[in-house]
């Protein structure tokens, strides 16, 4: 309990405080005040409504801190610097509850100004604004977190890469939602060691960030530990950029390089094959000729005749291989004309449909009725389709479905042909070699392994591309793309209905 003297001293102290103080009831009536008399012409405001007497309003102010105190039972502060014309001073209204026997029955409101901090605060605000703009305009993502992992800086670029909005990230996101647990630990371990760019620093570190929808995004990260003035760790900051585009371009480049190596390999093998084929052609011609002469000129026993027929048959097989080799080396003449791909496929199917290999094979044609023409040698293209269809039939062991699709590509400058089978598919190791000459998985004497390399050469020579894809046990698909020509077939439109 305070003595009378103490109370008087406190009242004097309040007057000397020279601040405007008002005590109001829960219905906004002034119960007591100090330093406000000058505002209202020396009259005492006691018993009047504060909003009427001080603000000349018919009802309480919307942002009245006393009202907040009333609702929450807690102290409340209102910054008046944005309301007042006097921008140089930071003026605040502070309100707090007065309780009697634990029951809130009045509120004290007083105002105060912080003139001493004004200049400093504005300077601080300006430099904060500058720093904020600097981070926001950075092309790289910037994320900083405190020691609990709570994100404290998150710029627009970070939002673009991760998919999290800046507001959401600053509001509730933890750094562990951006880096996988183990990754975040590894980053901190490396940051604290000397291993990657010095203690407290991490340079060009490749890791995966997690996007909002859970996707893993490869990034290159530069990070450092933030130390406080006492040298204690206060958090970490990371600058990073998205590597997806770069990785995509790199993969494309690697693929092109591989294709280039493949083409060069094919070219040198082509030259070699052409030489060998020419060397073999003449002796093979001799073997065939003299075998036929023996059969015609001599009256031979049946056994001997049978052997000579076998020689003829094998010589023929050798000649077929030589023909393939020459085809592979593209030593045969090309005769290019505008061609309807659907018609070329139909002609090939007509040739093979009666072969026993195809008796239990269904051919599903999904050919676009309207297909632009391509510039091609019809015989060579027929050879391509024949090889692919026979390969498919052989892979399916004579029973299954071959689906042939033709259509214009989305870019409208190429025609696409897809030949898919329901065979056993091609393993990844085999897939890497199928277009190489002499690569075969067939028994000796059953395949030369030249079929697909000839196909590859022909398509390349036509300015097209051929690729193979496969799902093991589900089948294989060969995709050919050939450039469209704007020349027209003799007596036909440049694109036609098949
Ligand atoms: N549709 C397919 N399904 C599964 N494997 C295939 C298919 N097409 C090709 N292959 C694989 O590719 C290899 C090479 O095919 P390619 O046509 O070049 O030679 P081949 O068929 O073995 O012999 P050749 O065509 O000279 O008679 C085949 O041995 C086979 O392993
Ligand atoms: Mg083949």
CB of 450 closer than 6 angstroms to any ligand 1 atom? yes
Residue nearest to atom 12 of ligand 1 (CA): 434
CB of 421 closer than 6 angstroms to any ligand 1 atom? yes
Which of these three, 242, 257, 274, is where a domain ends? 242
Q: State how far the alpha carbon of 295 is from the alpha carbons of 291, 305, 311, 315, 421, in Å.
A: 6, 7, 11, 15, 44
Q: What is the pLDDT of residues 178-202, one digit of tens each?
A: 987 777 788 888 888 877 667 788 8
Please check the confidence at residue 52 and state whether its pLDDT lies above 70.
yes
- Provide the token pair at 441: 């998985």
pTM above 0.95, yes or no: no
Same domain, 108 and 15: yes
CB of 440 closer than 6 angstroms to any ligand 1 atom? yes
Distance 69 CA to ligand 2 centre (A): 87
Same domain, 394 and 287: no
Same domain, 135 and 206: yes
Which ligand 1 atom is the nearest neighbour of the CA of 421? 1
Ligand 1 pocket check: which of 428, 435, 445, 449 to mutate, most ligand atoms within 8 Å of Cβ? 449
Rounded average pLDDT over 245-264: 82
CB of 400 closer than 6 angstroms to any ligand 1 atom? no
What percent of the chain has a predicted confidence (pLDDT) above 90?
A: 35
Which of these three, 89, 117, 145, is where a domain ends? 117
Residues 6+ apart with CB under 8 A from 444: none
Same domain, 228 and 256: no
What is the C-alpha separation between 232 and 434, in angstroms, rounded?
62
Same domain, 376 and 433: yes
Residue nearest to atom 24 of ligand 1 (CA): 447
Closest-CA residue to 22 (of 41, 36, 11): 36
pLDDT, residue 1, reads 67
Count: domains in the chain: 4
Which of these three, 294, 312, 328, is where a domain ends? 328
Q: What is the pLDDT of residues 198-221, one digit of tens each?
A: 778 888 888 899 999 999 999 999
Distance 105 CA to ligand 1 centre (A): 94
Q: What is the pLDDT of residues 348-359, one digit of tens each?
A: 898 887 788 899
Ligand 1 pocket check: which of 396, 437, 440 to mutate, most ligand atoms within 8 Å of Cβ? 440
Closest-CA residue to 331 (of 482, 466, 461): 461
Q: What is the pLDDT of residues 313-346, one digit of tens each?
A: 999 888 887 877 777 666 566 789 999 999 999 9
What is the C-alpha separation between 193 and 98, in angstroms, rounded?
55
pLDDT, residue 86, reads 45
Closest-CA residue to 400 (of 365, 366, 427, 363): 363
Q: Are 50 and 28 in contact (CB under 8 A)?
A: yes
Give me the domain span that covers residue 165: 125-242
Q: State how far the alpha carbon of 325 is from the alpha carbons of 333, 461, 462, in Å.
A: 14, 16, 18
Q: Which residues are registered as beta bridge partners of 96?
A: 108
Q: Are 473 and 480 in contact (CB under 8 A)?
A: no
Q: Are 415 and 375 in contact (CB under 8 A)?
A: no
Q: Could you tell me the maximum CA-CA distance found in the chain, to the nearest angstrom?
A: 154
CB of 477 closer than 6 angstroms to any ligand 1 atom? no
Same domain, 359 and 449: yes
Same domain, 130 and 224: yes
User: Token match 């392994």: residue?
Assistant: 449
Same domain, 319 and 346: no
> Which CATH number characterizes residue 207's domain?
3.30.450.20
Helix (H, G, I), strand (E, B) or coil at 217: strand
CB neighbour burial string for 1-16, b if at least 16 within 10 angstroms, e if fewer:
eeeeeeeeeeeeeeee
Q: In angstroms, how far is CA 288 from the centroid of its own chain? A: 62
Same domain, 226 and 368: no
Same domain, 289 and 360: no
Closest-CA residue to 376 (of 455, 270, 495, 461): 461
Same domain, 152 and 184: yes
Same domain, 193 and 282: no
């Amino acid at each position: 309990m305070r003595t009378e003297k103490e109370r008087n001293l406190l009242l004097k102290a309040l007057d000397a405080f020279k601040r405007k103080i008002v005590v109001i009831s829960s219905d906004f009536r002034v119960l007591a005040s100090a330093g406000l008399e000058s505002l209202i012409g020396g009259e005492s405001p006691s018993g009047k409504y504060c909003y009427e007497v001080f603000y000349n309003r018919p009802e309480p102010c919307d942002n009245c801190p006393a009202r907040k105190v009333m609702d929450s039972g807690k102290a409340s502060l209102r910054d008046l610097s944005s309301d007042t014309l006097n921008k140089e001073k930071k003026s605040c209204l502070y309100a707090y509850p007065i309780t009697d026997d634990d029951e809130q029955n009045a509120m004290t409101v007083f105002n105060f100004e912080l003139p001493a901090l004004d200049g400093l605060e504005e300077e601080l605000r300006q430099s904060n604004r500058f720093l904020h703009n600097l981070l926001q305009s950075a092309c790289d993502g910037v994320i900083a977190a405190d020691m609990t992992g709570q994100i404290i800086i998150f710029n627009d670029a970070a939002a673009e890469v991760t998919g999290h909005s800046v507001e959401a990230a600053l509001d509730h996101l933890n750094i562990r939602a951006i880096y996988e647990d183990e990754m975040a630990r590894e980053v901190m371990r490396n940051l604290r060691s000397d291993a990657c760019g010095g203690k407290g620093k991490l340079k060009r570190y490749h890791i995966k960030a997690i996007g909002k929808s859970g996707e893993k995004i490869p990034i290159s990260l530069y990070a450092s530990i933030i130390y406080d003035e006492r040298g204690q760790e206060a958090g970490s900051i990371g600058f990073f950029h998205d590597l997806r585009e770069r990785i995509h371009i790199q993969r494309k480049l690697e693929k092109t390089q591989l294709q280039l190596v493949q083409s060069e390999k094919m070219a040198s093998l082509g030259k070699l094959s052409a030489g060998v084929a020419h060397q073999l052609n003449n002796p093979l011609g001799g073997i065939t000729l003299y075998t036929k002469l023996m059969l015609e000129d001599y009256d031979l026993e049946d056994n001997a005749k049978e052997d000579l027929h076998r020689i003829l048959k094998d010589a023929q097989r050798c000649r077929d291989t030589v023909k393939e080799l020459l085809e592979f080396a593209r030593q045969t003449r090309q005769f290019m004309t505008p061609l309807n791909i659907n018609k070329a496929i139909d002609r090939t199917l007509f040739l093979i449909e009666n072969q026993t290999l195809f008796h239990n094979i269904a051919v599903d044609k999904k050919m676009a009725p309207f297909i632009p023409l391509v510039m091609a040698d019809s015989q060579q293209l027929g050879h391509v389709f024949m090889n692919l269809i026979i390969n498919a039939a052989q892979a399916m062991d004579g029973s299954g479905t071959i689906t042939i699709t033709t259509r214009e590509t989305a870019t409208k400058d190429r025609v696409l042909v897809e030949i898919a089978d329901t065979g056993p598919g091609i393993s990844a190791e085999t897939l890497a070699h199928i277009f190489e000459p002499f690569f075969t998985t067939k028994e000796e004497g059953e395949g030369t392994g030249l079929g697909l390399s000839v196909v590859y050469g022909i398509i390349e020579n036509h300015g097209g591309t051929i690729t193979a894809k496969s799902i093991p046990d589900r089948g294989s698909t060969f995709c050919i793309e050939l450039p469209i020509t704007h020349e027209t077939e003799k007596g036909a439109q440049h694109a036609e209905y098949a």
